[in-house]
């Protein structure tokens, strides 16, 4: 029987891997079945792929008619040896009624994986980005969190988690709007001007890790639109 490679994150009592919290194991196709919930937005979540330095998370959430898909992974920066995070946004995402997942780069199927302990929800990627996988194998990322909206740090997570409208923020002060707008960049590790107002503010936030001089390519469409809206409201203050 054809075997596939499934990578999962051990959370409390999910998949048991001998002596490991994160690891890889081969499973039979018969353990993987299509996952077709009643509502499409039930697919929202953070899906964990890979192991060790090849770990990655695919965040999927819905905002109006938009489906946001973003891959977070890490790498050792050449020359400095510093571990940094990078983000890749998927476009043209389509989820069909049978649970098939399609995007501009990756495609697969939302599935369940049943082991001897539990039934796990996940996403099978048929052309995985992890190049160390044997050719022809697929990879299943186990959903570790069904609420990706809680994954955003800061005082104003809504700046990244959903599309805003003007009435959401028109009562905010100019100073609050400035923090909200720059917080979007800070979440990706943007390096602010040394000793500037934003650098002084964010350096005091325990979640902030300055890593990148430019994070523009990391921003989702929701974030790009929200930044423009916040700037528009700011200009009126």
pLDDT at 144 over 70: yes
User: Region 134-140: what's the mean pLDDT?
Assistant: 82
- The whole-number pLDDT of residue 2 equals 38
Q: Could you tell me which residues are beta bridge partners of residue 140?
A: 6, 124
Q: Could you tell me which residues are beta bridge partners of residue 73?
A: 56, 86
User: Region 37-46: what's the mean pLDDT?
Assistant: 96
Record the pTM. 0.87
User: Region 101-115: what's the mean pLDDT?
Assistant: 93
Query: Among residues 234, 35, 218, 51, which one has the least CA distance to residue 120?
Result: 35
Q: What value does the mean pLDDT of the chain take?
A: 87
Separation of alpha carbons 17 and 118, rounded Å = 13
Separation of alpha carbons 37 and 167, rounded Å = 33
- The whole-number pLDDT of residue 198 equals 98
Query: Among residues 47, 60, 58, 57, which one has the least CA distance to residue 120?
Result: 47
User: Region 222-234: what's the mean pLDDT?
Assistant: 98
pLDDT at 135 over 90: no
Separation of alpha carbons 46 and 48, rounded Å = 7
- Delimit the CATH 1.20.58.1690 region(s) of the chain: 152-234
Do the Cβ atoms of 127 and 107 come closer than 8 Å? yes
- The whole-number pLDDT of residue 31 equals 82
Check residue 23 and report its DSSP letter.
E
- The whole-number pLDDT of residue 16 equals 33
% pLDDT > 90, the chain: 72
Separation of alpha carbons 41 and 72, rounded Å = 21
- The whole-number pLDDT of residue 133 equals 74
Fold topology of 152-234? Methane Monooxygenase Hydroxylase; Chain G, domain 1 (1.20.58)
- The whole-number pLDDT of residue 184 equals 98
% pLDDT > 70, the chain: 89
pLDDT at 82 over 50: yes
User: Region 168-188: what's the mean pLDDT?
Assistant: 97
Q: Which helix H or strand E contains 226, and what residues bound it?
A: helix 221-234
């Amino acid at each position: 029987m054809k075997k596939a490679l499934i990578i999962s994150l051990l959370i409390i009592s999910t998949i048991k891997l001998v002596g490991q919290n994160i690891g890889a194991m081969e499973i039979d196709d018969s353990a993987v079945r299509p996952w077709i919930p009643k509502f499409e937005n039930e697919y929202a979540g953070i899906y964990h792929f890979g192991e060790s330095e090849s770990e990655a998370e695919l965040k999927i959430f819905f905002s109006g008619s938009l489906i946001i898909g973003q891959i977070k992974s890490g790498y050792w920066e050449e020359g400095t040896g510093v571990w940094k995070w990078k983000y890749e946004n998927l476009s043209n995402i389509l989820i069909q009624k049978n649970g098939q997942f399609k995007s501009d780069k990756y495609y697969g199927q939302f599935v369940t994986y049943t082991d001897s302990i539990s039934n796990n929800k996940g996403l099978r990627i048929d052309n995985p980005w992890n190049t160390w996988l044997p050719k022809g194998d697929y990879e299943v990322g186990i959903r570790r969190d069904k609420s990706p909206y809680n994954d955003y740090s800061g005082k104003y997570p809504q700046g990244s988690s959903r599309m805003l409208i003007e009435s959401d923020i028109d009562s905010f002060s100019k100073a609050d709007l400035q923090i909200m707008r720059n917080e979007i960049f800070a979440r990706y590790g943007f390096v602010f001007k040394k000793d500037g107002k934003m650098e002084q503010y964010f350096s005091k936030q325990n979640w902030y890790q300055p890593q990148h001089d430019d994070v523009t390519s990391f921003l989702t469409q929701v974030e790009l639109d929200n930044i423009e809206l916040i700037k528009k409201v700011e200009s009126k203050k």
